[in-house]
Amino acid sequence: MMRLPSLYQFFRHQVSHGFHRHGITEPATVDYVSDILARFAQRRQFHALRDADGRPLEYLVDLLEAWQQGEAASPAHGRFILRHLGEYTLFMSGIFRERLMVRGELNYYLAHGRSAYWRCADCELNPRQRQVYRHLHLDFGRISNTLDNMRREQFPLPPSADNMLTAFWRV
């Protein structure tokens, strides 16, 4: 019986090779980004944050507002939202770059993603995790560019399939 790799193992293999080709070799960063991709493949993780009526927060401005409210309510909840904000912006700017470019939002996402990881590093107590967040802050654009490149080269989709994938994430 052939054993199939887990989704995380699949992404870990792909990210490791893709990042290595672009000079990103920090194992902790590869692990972290692989984990994001595996978790965000499940729509409920991608839309982990919801408004008071239970609707998923889909726009960056809504996530920023939730972060400000979360910080006021509880620093721990604020940090959770901030981490999700960083992961969301990295995922969107790397995997759905064309969509953000068409809407004129790519630089906005890159700036907020970089800032979210800077803030995560600033309040992280675990030195190893703090270092991962610092690397994500400093290299956010390069990591996002690499994810975009990987999506185009390693997982090329015909235009209609990309539209289907985009539609899936909009639901």
pLDDT in tens, 101-118: 999 999 999 999 999 999
| Per-residue pLDDT at 158 | 63
| Per-residue pLDDT at 82 | 92
Task: Spell out, as residue ranges, where the chain has pLDDT lower than 70.
Answer: 1-2, 4, 71-72, 157-171
Chain mean position to CA 136: 10
Range of the domain at 145: 55-161
Bridge partners of residue 56, in order along the sequence = 50
Quote the Cα angle for 111-35-152, to 5°. 65
| Per-residue pLDDT at 55 | 86
| Per-residue pLDDT at 103 | 93
| Per-residue pLDDT at 159 | 59
| Per-residue pLDDT at 167 | 45
C-alpha 133/C-alpha 16 separation (Å) is 18
Evaluate whether residue 127 is within a structural domain.
Answer: yes
- Supply 106's token pair: 């790519």
Evaluate whether residue 94 is within a structural domain.
Answer: yes
- Supply 51's token pair: 């408004």
| Per-residue pLDDT at 157 | 64
Quote the Cα angle for 64-136-65, to 5°. 5
| Residue 159 DSSP SS3 | helix
| Per-residue pLDDT at 72 | 65
C-alpha 104/C-alpha 110 separation (Å) is 12
Q: How many CB atoms lie within 10 A of CB 5?
A: 10
Total number of domains constituting the chain: 1
